[in-house]
Amino acid sequence: MKRVGIIGAMALEVEELKSKMEITRKEERASMEFLEGMLNGTDVVIVQSGIGKVNAALCTQILCDMFDVTHIINTGVAGSLKNEINIGDIVVSTDALHHDVDVRVFGYPLGEVPQMGCLAFPADEKLNALAVECCKEVNKDISVYSGRIVSGDQFISDKQVKDNIISNFDGFCVEMEGASIAHAAYLNHVPFVIIRAISDKADDSAEMDYPTFEKAAAAHSAALVEHMLPMI
């Protein structure tokens, strides 16, 4: 039987989904509240992980160990890394990597975690295709892209930093949790997908754009997640 773990870093990224679910149990682990129940006819566990890679990895491991999830969806907002991807659009992960890992001194490529055997953690192809198709159905007013998501413990709001990330990793968007969720899911052999609605351009305008557009962006992402659940 499928059970889908849904992670959002911030309240606004999961509050709409929580409001629509039938909650059967609440449990606190590592200062996170895990809500079990049904959403759109699907057995789910919804949790707000908190911001950053460590919180995200802890949350994912708890979902695997304590709640036996069969799939993981990470929903939230991100900064665009491509000119054609505009505020409000959605990026669905093909893979995810850590842009702030640097062990090149020992011969690893920039971004690769030592001894993992891969640079980026591949998302589940079926979940990726399903998310893209569902986004086209429920978010007709925006565009959806499928590509790499890059993560680090930084809010990117400097054009030079953004340009460096683009040149090194060819990512579609940048944020602070996805790669750690992907990393933990990969190690636990749990299929995952990351869904990111664009809240800013990850440049000198990001500090102004993010608070203006984050709610609308999160709503697009939540609508997509709810719609795709019965088809997983």
Sole residue written with tokens 């994912």 = 60
Of 36, 200, 203, 209, catalytic: 200
For the chain, what is the largest distance between any 2 Cα atoms, rounded to a whole number of angstroms? Answer: 51
Round to whole Å and give the CA distance between 69 and 45: 8
CA distances from 215 to 28, 84, 140, 221 (A): 26, 21, 18, 10
Residue 13: active-site member = yes
The residue type at 98: H
> Which has the closest alpha carbon to 11: 174, 227, 214, 229?
214
Residue 36: active-site member = no
The first and second tokens of residue 51, run together, are 């911001």
Round to whole Å and give the CA distance between 119 and 146: 18
Catalytic residues: 13, 200
